């Protein structure tokens, strides 16, 4: 019985570590931003900084009735992508 208890404890610890590392990674990668239509999520990657700055300076980001004219996902994701 002791061996089974020890294996179960090890399993629980490993499971906790797995979920803790996953949560930490998701949180630091700003994972929830990828579930939105916000163009800011495209800027999470350092490679996109220049492109995002050009977008913000260009006409596509100009607000019409409080919304940008076009967001990154309007052109760069399929229109039938997962509903956001």
Rounded to whole angstroms, the Cα distance separating 24 from 47 reads 22
24 lies in the same domain as 47: no
26 lies in the same domain as 40: no
Q: Which residues pair with 63 in a beta bridge?
A: 68
Rounded to whole angstroms, the Cα distance separating 6 from 21 reads 22
Using one digit for the tens of pLDDT, what is the confidence trace for 34-52?
777 777 777 777 677 888 8
Rounded to whole angstroms, the Cα distance separating 7 from 12 reads 9
13 lies in the same domain as 47: no
Using one digit for the tens of pLDDT, what is the confidence trace for 45-80?
767 788 888 888 888 887 777 777 788 878 877 776
42 lies in the same domain as 22: no
């Amino acid at each position: 019985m002791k061996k089974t208890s020890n294996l179960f404890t090890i399993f629980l610890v490993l499971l906790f570590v797995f979920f803790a590392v996953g949560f930490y990674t998701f949180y630091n990668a700003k994972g929830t931003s990828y579930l939105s239509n916000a163009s800011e999520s495209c800027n999470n990657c350092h490679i996109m900084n220049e492109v995002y700055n050009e977008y913000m300076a260009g006409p596509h980001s100009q607000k019409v009735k409080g919304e940008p004219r076009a967001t990154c996902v309007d052109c760069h994701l399929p229109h039938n992508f997962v509903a956001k």
